[in-house]
Chains A and B, each alone.
Chain A
Amino acid sequence: MYLFLHILFLIKCTFCFFDYTLNNYNYLMKKIILMLMLVLSTGLSAQFYTISGYLTDGKSGESLINASVFDHRSRKGTVSNEYGFFSITLPAGETQLQFTYVGFQTEQRNFTLRKDTVINIRFQESITLQEITVTGHQKITGVQSTQMSAVEVPIAQIKTVPTLFGEADLIKALQLLPGVQAGSEGSTGMYVRGGGPDENLFLLDGIPVYNINHMAGFFSVFNPDAVKNVTLYKGNFPARFGGRLSSVIDVRMNDGNNKEIRGNLSVGIISSKLNIEGPLFSEKTTFNVSARRTYFDILAQPILAAVAKAEQGDGYDGSLSAGYYFYDLNGKISHKFSDTDRLYLSLYMGDDAIYAKFRSRYRETDQLKSTEHGKLDWDWGNIVTSARWNHVINNRLFMNSTLAYTRYRFNLYVGSRSEEIRKNPPSNTYTDYMVGYKSGIEDYTAKVDFDYAPHPDHDVKFGANYTYHTFRPGVSVARNEIKYNNEIIKTDTMIGDKNVFSHETMAYAEDNISLGYALKLNVGLHYSVFNVQRETYHSLQPRISMRWLLNDRLSVKAGYAAMSQYVHLLSNSSVSLPTDLWVPVTKRIEPMRSHQYSAGIFYNFRDLIDFSVEGYYKSMHNLIEYRDGASFLGSTTGWEDKVAMGDGWAYGLEVLAQKSFGKTTGWIGYTWAKAERKFDRPGQEINYGRVFPAKYDRRHDFSLVLSHKFSDRFDLSGTWVISSGNTGTLALQQFEGTSVPGDDYTWQSDLNHISSRNNYRFNPYHRMDIGMNFHKQKTNGVRTWNISIYNLYNNNNPFMVYPSETWEPVPSTNPGQYTEYTSRKVFKQISIFPIMPSLTYSYKW
């Protein structure tokens, strides 16, 4: 009877789910999900009970993501989800539950399981000077899990990685992991397993962020002070993720301390940051606000004023102000209505801005005066905002519903007025000039996700998502007004493409299935539909991975994932620019698709160090590259004609040894990888249709990241990276070109012969960075001085190479004779970021 009622209840839940989320959805998918749930539910028996609850930081109340829950008796385990909720169904009887999380003391609960039970754990911080021993440790990326090709890096570890200008940066830390190539020196571009920079899905609390770059990619938009957890998926993607080919970076923000008001202020060379968190009115409501701003513009004003002042005189005077800055603002409010209902409101805003204003007056004679003033406003940035509601339907079924808005936009305005005033004869002529350019992308999203733990051997996730995209491809406006001799000439021009609207819908289901002690499978299906300009694309993407446990510390894993991507980033391949533009697929430009196979061996050494050796092969189709001579500076009109579609493939071997807790933490990573492209479709050939290396194809990549805490007062961290050089395209031969016979003028010129795209490899790249933290306990908090040195031994790493010419004097034996010079062709390299020390002061209370 109990079983029958249970089945009926599940069926009701299933239809409730369909009613308010999947009403207009694919009938076939409904059938599959319903059957899956019925199959699972028939396996239930009254002998199993569910233990559920929330895992939090006992000191701050912050929910803990991917905290491990393990039952020693049944050898079953799970991890907490993105909201700290866990649910595990176990056989009735004696239960020995162990709860673990990096940096916290292990919690044990031994009891007899006789009914569904709720256990909420408040973890206590570990004693920092001692190693933590953890048994049965389970991470989502560990030996026990089916997940491979993924890395979790604790945020505390990310903050210790020394970086450029002392600005801790999530993306810069992830670039040090195997399988991830950074783009050009200093940039936040990520090239994951041979994929391009637009093939990475950056999620902030589950919502995509389109442009993650500040300052042309030297910094990312993620403020580590606001972040709780970050997980990088390079392959073997769980079915809940979709929309990009190469990676998912899942970033979760802090909820806020629910016990007391806490804060952290840091002042660095280029920016300052402030983070405040705490309860609002009561423990049930918390807030967390983080802000960061640079001050290049403030520091530059005296220099600019001096420049303007130096030019004054001789009848000229003027003023000049200009600057560049960026800021980030993260805010979150969390409210707990009850043990089963919680609401989260999140906001991220960030902008880069370049501005300039000048005014000049020049009096040439008493009869003539001229003035000129101009203005430049150039800004770009993101807004990401969401409202999420968690509801524990029952102790086996957890639901999260989200409404979100995300927007990236780019604006440029340049205007000037020049005026000339004559006294005799009286006349006034002027020229007004204005150019404006706008572009961007905007999404409205509704989604629902479920976590369901029906049985000890099953851990199910399913859900659906709808997004309404608005692509603003770029509109240029130019206005010109000229007044001359009482005649006014006006021109007004607008060029650009209209906005494009699209609908993207997806649904997924995945099950983590235990088949005995050794074998565990994760089987999932992701289905997506993209509708744009009367064109509909859909994709069924199977995801499967398996783990074979050889013993508690050693496993072998393998997996396959199919992915589709419906948006492209139009971007120069060398550097990230604010003019980079997201465009949707069209009738001519089809969705990108990939198939990735991976396999590896995973070993855990004494619960301290995780080792992995993993190989992968990825094939990619319908990639786009820019045709020879294509450029996207300014105009994206007719962009489809500037790109070619083709294929790519990448394969490699990654080795990682990672230690995430204790006095000494860090990782060593090595990658051997190869990535190639081929564009041979008729009319879209690049490199004559022959195979060529991908832009950031690097054969070898090694990184060492270490951090050691000597005491509560001092810790030291360092990184060392060495990798093969990036590829570039060089014309290795020059040849004679002549004019067309019959043309009215003749010419001869030196033409460049490029034998193949990306035919040259830069010099190897290597760099060492160190960071030192000096802490001192104060009355109400801790103050820290951080000294970081980027590029410690001042290696000149290649940023750009180019041929040039130098002139050298020819030695002369005849004194008094004029010096002759001879030219010599040379090869030059530009490096940026030499040794760069930085100093940061921070105070945490």
Chain B
Amino acid sequence: MVKRNTMKNIIFPLLALAMLVLASCEKEIEFNGEITKPLVTVNSYLIPDSTVRVIVSKSRFFLDSKNYFERIENATMNIVVNDGYTETLKLSAGTYVGNYKPQPGDSVALLIKVPGEDEVRSSAVVPMPSNIISIDTLSRKEIERYPAEMYNDSVISWMTHYELEMGLRIKDPAQQKNFYRLSILFNEEYTNFDFSNRYYLYFNLQGVTNETSGGSLLGLIGEENQKAFHLFSDDVFDGKDVIIRFKVNEYKMERKPGSEDPTPSQISYIINLQSLNRATYLYLKSKDASGDVVSDFFTEPVQIYTNISNGIGIFGAITNNTKTLYMNR
């Protein structure tokens, strides 16, 4: 059955009208601005217990028809840890790798010398892991139940859509600025088939309640729209014991008896509340915003944050902290 889209039926003739009036011309022109030279780009994140890995490449002029970024493989790269330990990173399969594995609290400086370029510098402090106290399902509500599959005009399976409200209880360190990144991996295990199906859930944050003062709502954090990764800071709950509330959609399929398709043996939600340093937070936030506005004429342009001196990119630091919530089926 063909569905007619209401807005399309309305918008298309209006656009046609507009085009009649706004007779426009599009043409290729010569770029008359400054042709800027490529910049050294750094991509690296310090992860506790993982070796330091740094990708260095060159940016390209926006009208350059190359569809790749030239990797820099002749750089001299050093890290200095806590103003003491020093290591020179070695190139391995296009990535500069070291032996050092950072720990939460370490302060790391990065120095890169590329022939013909100014020295590139950056630094990062590895954040302490977030303090997750617990993760609970606060409520589960059936939204709708509808036929999922039909065969010969008969329904052979039904889908029930549930909305789960979850609460992630954390204790935020006081008197310091903290930045977080929250994600939820949905995991279905099919042990009989040695197979698991995992994907990131899109969810929106509801708000933050204060657990030490009767559950009062402190405010909203992050953005209201549904995303797979939510970035937020502790502006609203600095130093407090709080529950971060969010809703996820769960879909449960019930097949008619005798159906050959398998059902998962175990369902779980893997919640990862990452601690970020400030540069990583600003970089990821601005990068996401930049992606949203690329082709939007009505939105202000976004400058992606960088903490690289004499270059661009990110030298960040992230500490993971995961908790798994198993669901009964």
A contacts, CB < 8 Å to B: 270, 296, 300, 303-304, 307, 320, 322-324, 354, 356, 358, 360, 362, 364, 368, 370, 372, 374, 376, 414, 416, 418, 420, 433, 484, 489, 572-575, 577, 625-633, 687-688, 729-738, 740-745, 749, 751-755, 757, 759-761, 763, 796, 799-801, 803, 806, 823-834, 836
Contacts and interface: CB of A to CB of B under 8 A. Distances in A.
Given A732-B36, A735-B41, A828 B27 contact: yes
Contacts, number: 220
Contacts of A832: 22-25
A814 to B, nearest CB: 24
B235 to A, nearest CB: 10
A749 B69 CA distance: 10
B17 interface: yes
Given A323-B17, A372-B4, A831-B24, A729 B301 contact: yes
Contacts of B286: 628-629
Contacts of A320: 9, 13
B57 A322 contact: no
B226 to A, nearest CB: 16
B89 interface: no
A23 to B, nearest CB: 44
B14 A732 contact: no
A625 B30 CA distance: 31
A818 B300 CA distance: 43
B43 A738 contact: yes
A733 B25 contact: no
Contacts of B181: 740
Contact of B10 (A322, A418, A829): A322
Q: When A and B form their complex, which 6 residue pairs have the shortest distance between CB atoms, in order from nearest? A: A629-B289, A416-B6, A735-B59, A631-B299, A628-B302, A736-B69
30 contacts: A300-B13, A307-B16, A322-B10, A324-B17, A356-B10, A360-B4, A374-B10, A418-B6, A575-B297, A628-B289, A628-B302, A629-B286, A731-B301, A736-B57, A740-B45, A741-B47, A741-B53, A752-B294, A754-B301, A754-B302, A759-B33, A801-B29, A827-B63, A828-B27, A829-B28, A830-B24, A832-B23, A832-B25, A834-B23, A834-B25
Given A736-B69, A825-B64, A830 B10 contact: no
Contact of A626 (B9, B55, B300): B300
Contact of A825 (B62, B289, B299, B301): B62
Interface of B is mostly: mixed
Nearest to B306: A753
B26 A742 contact: no
A825 B36 contact: no
A416 B293 CA distance: 29
Contacts of A376: 10
B29 A828 contact: yes
A420 B3 CA distance: 10
Given A354-B14, A626-B300, 17 more contacts: A572-B298, A628-B289, A629-B293, A629-B299, A732-B34, A732-B36, A735-B60, A736-B55, A737-B287, A740-B284, A741-B45, A753-B59, A763-B32, A796-B27, A828-B28, A829-B29, A831-B24
B21 interface: yes
A763 B29 contact: yes
Interface stretch (B164-172, B242-250, B253-261, B312-320): B312-320
B7 interface: yes
Nearest to B293: A629
Contacts of B36: 732-733, 755
B31 interface: yes
Nearest to A371: B4
B266 interface: no
Contacts of B154: none
A823 B6 contact: no
A296 B21 contact: yes
A830 B312 CA distance: 31
B200 interface: yes
A752 B29 contact: no
Contacts of B55: 736, 738
A629 B25 contact: no
A552 B214 CA distance: 81
Contact of A733 (B16, B59, B144, B200): B59
A732 B61 contact: yes
A642 to B, nearest CB: 9
Interface in B49-79: 50, 53, 55, 57, 59-65, 67, 69
A433 B6 contact: yes
Nearest to A579: B298
A800 B297 CA distance: 9
B300 A627 contact: yes
Given A574-B298, A830-B24, A740 B318 contact: yes
B97 interface: no
B118 interface: no
Best-surrounded residue of B29, B47, B53, B69 (most CB of chain A within 10 A) = B29
A814 B24 CA distance: 40
A536 B146 CA distance: 57
B47 A826 contact: no
Contact of A735 (B29, B39, B284, B303): B39
Contacts of A749: 291
B17 A830 contact: no
Contact of A688 (B13, B199, B296, B303): B303
B14 A484 contact: no
A735 B57 contact: yes
A358 B9 contact: yes
Nearest to B69: A736
Contacts of B312: 733, 735, 753
A324 B14 contact: yes
A358 B41 CA distance: 53
A623 B288 CA distance: 27
Contacts of A743: 183
Nearest to A420: B1
A322 B29 contact: no
Contacts of A834: 23, 25
Contacts of A803: 62-63
Contacts of A631: 293, 296, 298-300
Contacts of A360: 4, 9
B2 A362 contact: yes
Given A688-B303, A754-B303, A735 B26 contact: no
A803 B294 CA distance: 11
Given A323-B17, A484-B146, A732-B34, A630 B62 contact: no
Nearest to B235: A683
Best-surrounded residue of A575, A731, A751 (most CB of chain B within 10 A) = A751
A630 B41 contact: no
Interface in B198-254: 198-200
Nearest to B23: A834
B38 interface: yes
Contacts of B284: 740
Given A629-B289, A754-B301, A322 B26 contact: no
A736 B43 contact: yes
A760 B65 contact: no
B17 A731 contact: no
A420 B2 CA distance: 11
B185 interface: yes
Contacts of B3: 372, 418
A428 to B, nearest CB: 15
B304 interface: yes
A744 B198 contact: yes
Nearest to A804: B28
B145 to A, nearest CB: 10
B233 to A, nearest CB: 11
B179 to A, nearest CB: 13
Contacts of B6: 358, 372, 374, 414, 416, 418, 433
B94 to A, nearest CB: 11
A314 B154 CA distance: 28
Contacts of B24: 799, 830-832
Interface in B72-103: none
A71 B50 CA distance: 92
